[in-house]
Amino acid sequence: DGISKTRTLTTAIQLEARQGQYETAMVLGVVLVALVLTVNAIVVRFGDRGVAG
């Protein structure tokens, strides 16, 4: 059908940028950064449980 479908956020960012849709690519980039920071905060908050310190 000519429509590209991606399964990962990074591939979607690359596809949008190649098509000249820089605004969409930037929004997806912000979503990716927010997701990474959220996961990192969760790991930092709950990751050290059970470690004697």
Q: What's residue 3's pLDDT?
A: 67
Spans of the chain below 70 pLDDT: 1-6, 50-53
Burial class (CB in 10 A: 0-12, 13-18, 19+), 29: middle
Q: What's residue 5's pLDDT?
A: 66
Say how far apart CA 53 and CA 33 lie, in whole Å.
Answer: 30
Burial class (CB in 10 A: 0-12, 13-18, 19+), 47: exposed
